[in-house]
Amino acid sequence: MCMDKKIDQIKDIYKAFETEAAAYKETAACRKGCAYCCTDAGSIDITTLEGLVILKKARSLLRLQQVKVNKALAEDLKKKEKGQRSACPFLMKNKACMIYEIRPFSCRRIYSVHVCNQDNPPMLSRKVIKMAEKTIEELQILDDTGYSGHISYIMHMLKAPKFLSTYLTGEHKPEEVMAFGKTHNIVINLNVSDLLKNKEMVK
């Protein structure tokens, strides 16, 4: 399947989750201007396909914004490598998300039934957590020639011309990213997809 069709399917997968989780999210305390999840962000895991959507958006920004985003991504990468806390590179000073319309699933799945603070991290229904796990698997299966990992790591991979060219042609050469993948907890989506197929077969 070509990348454009896959990107269209991402939207369907997001929509299906939103529909399934809608009743639970009705009680969410999340409001515009609250960026708790983005400020003290843990790992913001994305697939390479979601990263490709973000890369296209980033490259359409004004030159100055692109410079800022690239700097923020590089800083986030360094901080995460050192195990330090870091705000999301796409969080703006006014606490709005620069890529809200195309934000990855990591951000779409999170909500909280109470207002969050240091002592009260986000709390969501176990059922929604299960739904989200299923959705993540669907996204990884869709992106079966790609990878999953923290947002600045995946963006770093996509910005490497050799990797991007391999990825865009639909080839799968994990050996090309083996060294970076091992040190940055990058998941090979095909392995997840194979594991799930095997699970289905033994059922």
Q: Which residues bind ligand SF4 (CB under 6 A)?
A: 38, 41, 44, 88, 90-91, 97, 99, 103, 107
Work out how close the CB of 151 gets to ligand SF4 at its nearest, in angstroms, rounded to a whole number: 7
Helices (H), 30-120: 36-39, 48-59, 63-81, 105-108
Work out how close the CB of 80 gets to ligand SF4 at its nearest, in angstroms, rounded to a whole number: 13
DSSP per-residue codes, 130-186 = HHHHHHHHHHHHHTTTSEEEEHHHHHHHHTSHHHHHHHHTT---GGGGHHHHHHTT-
Nearer to ligand SF4, 15 or 197 (CB): 15
Nearer to ligand SF4, 6 or 103 (CB): 103
CB atoms within 10 A of CB 179: 9
Q: C-alpha 90: how far from its chain's center?
A: 12
Work out how close the CB of 44 gets to ligand SF4 at its nearest, in angstroms, rounded to a whole number: 5
Work out how close the CB of 109 gets to ligand SF4 at its nearest, in angstroms, rounded to a whole number: 11
Query: How many C-alpha atoms does 193 have within 13 Å on its Cβ side?
Result: 14
Name the DSSP letter for residue 103: -
Nearer to ligand SF4, 16 or 97 (CB): 97
CB 165 within 8 A of CB 177: no
Which of 146, 135, 51 minimizes the C-alpha distance to 89? Answer: 51
Nearer to ligand SF4, 53 or 157 (CB): 53
Nearer to ligand SF4, 73 or 188 (CB): 73
Work out how close the CB of 104 gets to ligand SF4 at its nearest, in angstroms, rounded to a whole number: 6
CA distance 154 to 139: 15
Work out how close the CB of 75 gets to ligand SF4 at its nearest, in angstroms, rounded to a whole number: 14
Amino acid at site 2: C
Nearer to ligand SF4, 118 or 198 (CB): 118
